[in-house]
A and B are shown apart, each in its own frame.
Chain A
Amino acid sequence: MSLVNFTAREITCKIVYYGPGRSGKTTNLQYVYGRVPESRRGRMVSLATQTDRTLFFDFLPLELGTISGFTTKFQLYTVPGQSYYNATRKLVLQGADGVVFVGDSQARRFDDNLESLQNLQDNLLAQGVDVRQLPVVFQYNKQDLPGDLILSQEEMDDALNFRAVPSYGADALHGSGVFETLRGISELVLRRLAVGSPVA
């Protein structure tokens, strides 16, 4: 996928929310969806199971309008968190311009976070993408839960964020940290405009 299309004057950013099952990826997208004026958002596609778990993926197209002469579009995707949907995850991850890793702050989900992060790196590597070259931010969701149940943002950083990329504490259900995270990953992705060579 081309990040900047100079000929069509289009900037398209594909951002994938990655993370263990039930960490709040879809909630992030739903919150964003709820805040975007109707004229700006496309239909949010959610392929979910009857128990509300994401079966395939969520897709939320955002039309940010014309910025500096470029029609700017964001496409937000989530991957199914459950480990048995790895084929779907790989598919969704293809051509991603940036990844938000949504970690579950609950202490009992610690191993799930590690496993999912490892899975992200494996899947990227399988596609020939070096995770160090791809814009990634961390979101530690559910920071609103009682302190004895969760790990603090610092502890989560220690456990997952060993490359010290931007990280955000969040309460996706109530929206806290959702846009901060989106803004963070967008900045990283867009800043690559300056260094990345434009693709026609």
Chain B
Amino acid sequence: MTVTLNPLYRFDTLVVGAANRLAATAAKAVAESPGTVYNPLFVYARPGLGKTHLLMAIGHAARAINPRLVVEYLTLDEFVEAFHAAIAAGHGDAYRKRFLDVDLLLVDDVQFLTHRREMQAELLRLTDALQTASRQIVLTSDRPPADIEALDERLIRRFAGGLIIDVAAPDYETRVAILRRKAEERRAGFADGVLEAVGSLDIDNVRELLGALNRIIAFQAVSEKPLTAEQARMLVGGEATAEKAERTERTETTERSDEQPSPSSPSSPSSPSSEFDDFLSEIAATVAQQVDAWRTRVSAAILRWQGEGFRTAPLQALLEQEMVNDPERALREFEEDVERLQALQADAAALAPELAGSAAFRDPANLAAAEEALRQAREEGPPPPPPSPLWRLDGFVETAANRVVLEAVRAVAASPGDRYNPLVLVGGAAVGKTHLLHAIGNALADREAPVACLSAPEFTGELIEAIDRDAVPAWRARYRRATAFLLDDVHLIAATDRTQDELFVLFNALMDGGRQLVFSAAAPLAELTGVEPRLRSRLEGGLVVELPAPDAAVRERVLSRDLEAKLGAADPELAAYLAARPADSIRASQALLQRVLEAAAARGVAPDVALAREVLEEPAAPPPAPPRAPGRSSGIVAAGPSATRSREKMVWEWPDVADRVVEEWR
């Protein structure tokens, strides 16, 4: 789509005369340092006066200076075509991005922007973006911007903010110079005065001039004698000659009669108002530059703040306006708002780190929302930790032994804060305290959020972090707005003075608010050491229930469920056998099942009772020598038959006697 630059259209092939000297100089300046001077450069001239030549010459020269420069030349029609194709394909953004990566954009024939509002808006956006990024845009047209019908006023100003320059028709000398150069290129020789005669004709279009040259070259090629000046003149256009002669005479007469000029009718070869027009055009450019300088500043500010993630609607609204009363003040106010937002955001982030990216702190036009968010953060902090969704009440196996506990739990779930408050679940390791605690939490969370459910060490850890961040009030507020508070392993707060103080205060606050509290403890409360009596007495004030160790019936039901989940079919016999094996917790029984499943997998057979017996009852064969780890290691894998109460506390193997000796010696 993009036209390759015509290799013949270079500065060294451009004949520079009085009519195009300014344009050529500006074009060279642009080519030498794109984006720094005259941006955008707008060149206008009637057809056939070398606009395209100038445009492509800029491209060639800029590339010669910096070969890595991305130069794109296209006509407005191509620009429009590409835009429509991109929009039709839904790639409008890609289209914009494509031009934003161009260092030097050369757009020919922009007069066709007439009545194309959509393209005008697109070009305006592009011009702004390129200018902001210090990239050069050069445009040509057959008329000045102000004369392009229905052209957006803002575009006119953008162009005026750079440099608008025209290329006039070549004068006699330039015409002759062009003819000579072209004749030389064509290796056509002419008698003296021939080219001058053609040059003196009233042809002020370079294309037509070259057409005239073609005619005399063709004529001379077929004639026996060299062409004379008079013949050439007649050949190309006798009438034009007469007109020209007449005009020359008229000019000379005028000049002679103006030797004594009066100030009110001043003399000059140029028309009376041209000096004023030149003056006006320069003044307009200066005013546009000065007045529109604020647009550049606003655009830069928009890019900057958008880059930092802030909304810039107020600044964008400024750009939409023709002129604002005081752009500097608007910019200053916006920046003050942004600074205020940043301060609010920093405060909020100190309270709750996840608020740092909150949208409430991104809109300078809505400081109130940010202040409200900070106020909430101060008052509430982020939601307290929720219960784990893995543990549900219906997943807890009910037996005769734990029925009392489950009834209490159901009562709490049905009417939190009403009947058993606090509820304290007591039980040994791996009897299902945590499962039940989180299950209650989930049941309550289903009713109304937020529910705080965490372990005592996590609670202590959060407090320490809050002290460290100097955000204890926010941390407190976070828990106080919980509709229920469930703390696992409350015995682990032993010897933590500050945590116990905080828990005590929180306990009272929540109780006063009628919120449900649930705790779990590894031992009966009376046996807990290191827990302050005032806290203990409050825990005892509710309902304390003991979770029994799971009996064989519970274990069998859990194992049946596990087997069904893992094998896809229930095996009641195997489940019953495994449940009957000595184990003091569900987890220990599950470990036995795991061993059987692994053995079955190793042998490639289906797990059954026989295999289980073989694996679990036969004296353990010396395990195959495990691959030695580079260092000493011990694996805690499964429960032994007795001796230890849970597998966490049992050592499965000592890999090396020497290690064991060292261990004992220590």
Chain A contact residues, CB within 8 Å of chain B:
6-7, 9, 11, 27, 30-37, 40, 64-65, 67-70, 72, 173-175, 179, 182-183, 186-187, 190-191, 193-194, 197-198, 200
| B273/A68 in contact, CB under 8 A | no
Q: Is B214 an interface residue (CB 8 A)?
A: no
**Residues of chain B within 8 A of A194, CB atoms compared:** 290, 293
A194 to chain B, nearest CB (A): 5
Bound: A69/B268 CA distance, A:
33
Partner of B265, one of A9, A34, A69, A72: A34
Partner of B291, one of A68, A182, A197: A68
Task: Show 28 A/B contacts (Cβ-Cβ < 8 Å), sorted by A.
Answer: A9-B323, A30-B263, A32-B276, A33-B263, A33-B264, A35-B275, A37-B273, A37-B276, A40-B276, A64-B284, A67-B283, A67-B291, A68-B291, A69-B291, A69-B323, A174-B267, A175-B267, A175-B268, A175-B275, A179-B275, A179-B279, A183-B279, A183-B282, A186-B283, A190-B290, A191-B290, A193-B287, A193-B291
| A193/B273 in contact, CB under 8 A | no
**Residues of chain A within 8 A of B288, CB atoms compared:** 67-68
A123 to chain B, nearest CB (A): 27
Q: Digitize B292-305: 1 where CB-to-A-CB distance is under 8 Å, 0 elsewhere.
A: 11000000000000
**Residues of chain A within 8 A of B280, CB atoms compared:** 64-65
Q: Please provide the chain B residues from 623 to 654 with a CB less than 8 Å away from any CB of chain A in the complex.
A: none
**Residues of chain A within 8 A of B323, CB atoms compared:** 6, 9, 68-70
A-B contact sample (11 more), CB < 8 A, given A64-B280, A70-B291: A6-B323, A11-B287, A35-B266, A35-B273, A69-B323, A70-B287, A70-B323, A179-B276, A193-B290, A198-B328, A200-B326
Given the contacts A175-B268, A198-B326, A27 and B263 also touching, CB distance less than 8 Å: yes
Bound: A126/B455 CA distance, A:
83
Bound: A35/B293 CA distance, A:
31
**Residues of chain B within 8 A of A37, CB atoms compared:** 273, 276
| B325/A190 in contact, CB under 8 A | no
Interface residues contributed by chain B, number (CB under 8 Å): 33
| B263/A34 in contact, CB under 8 A | yes
**Residues of chain B within 8 A of A7, CB atoms compared:** 325
B322 to chain A, nearest CB (A): 5
Closest A residue, CB atoms, query B323: A69
**Residues of chain B within 8 A of A40, CB atoms compared:** 276
| B284/A36 in contact, CB under 8 A | no
| B292/A68 in contact, CB under 8 A | yes
**Residues of chain B within 8 A of A173, CB atoms compared:** 261, 263
Chain B CB count within 10 A is highest, among A11, A30, A68, for A68
Closest B residue, CB atoms, query A175: B266
**Residues of chain A within 8 A of B407, CB atoms compared:** none
Q: Digitize B318-362: 1 where CB-to-A-CB distance is under 8 Å, 0 elsewhere.
A: 000011111010000000000000000000000000000000000
Closest A residue, CB atoms, query B294: A194
Chain B contact residues, CB within 8 Å of chain A:
153, 157, 160, 261, 263-268, 272-273, 275-276, 278-280, 282-284, 286-288, 290-293, 322-326, 328
Given the contacts A6-B323, A190-B290, A64 and B266 also touching, CB distance less than 8 Å: no
Closest A residue, CB atoms, query B325: A6
Bound: A11/B323 CA distance, A:
13
**Residues of chain B within 8 A of A6, CB atoms compared:** 323-326
Closest 10 CB pairs of A and B: A30-B263, A193-B290, A68-B291, A67-B287, A35-B276, A68-B288, A190-B286, A6-B325, A67-B284, A34-B266
B426 to chain A, nearest CB (A): 77
**Residues of chain A within 8 A of B325, CB atoms compared:** 6-7, 198, 200
**Residues of chain A within 8 A of B265, CB atoms compared:** 34
Bound: A187/B266 CA distance, A:
24
Chain A CB count within 10 A is highest, among B279, B292, B323, for B279
**Residues of chain B within 8 A of A32, CB atoms compared:** 276
Bound: A173/B272 CA distance, A:
15
Closest A residue, CB atoms, query B264: A34
Closest B residue, CB atoms, query A6: B325
Closest B residue, CB atoms, query A44: B264
Bound: A186/B272 CA distance, A:
20
Closest A residue, CB atoms, query B327: A198
B357 to chain A, nearest CB (A): 38
Closest B residue, CB atoms, query A200: B325
**Residues of chain A within 8 A of B153, CB atoms compared:** 69
B240 to chain A, nearest CB (A): 31
A27 to chain B, nearest CB (A): 6
**Residues of chain A within 8 A of B286, CB atoms compared:** 186-187, 190-191
Bound: A64/B278 CA distance, A:
12
Bound: A11/B288 CA distance, A:
12
| A182/B279 in contact, CB under 8 A | yes
**Residues of chain B within 8 A of A174, CB atoms compared:** 261, 266-267
**Residues of chain B within 8 A of A175, CB atoms compared:** 266-268, 275
**Residues of chain A within 8 A of B282, CB atoms compared:** 183, 186-187
| B266/A72 in contact, CB under 8 A | no
| B287/A72 in contact, CB under 8 A | yes
B449 to chain A, nearest CB (A): 54
Partner of B287, one of A36, A190, A200: A190
Bound: A183/B290 CA distance, A:
15
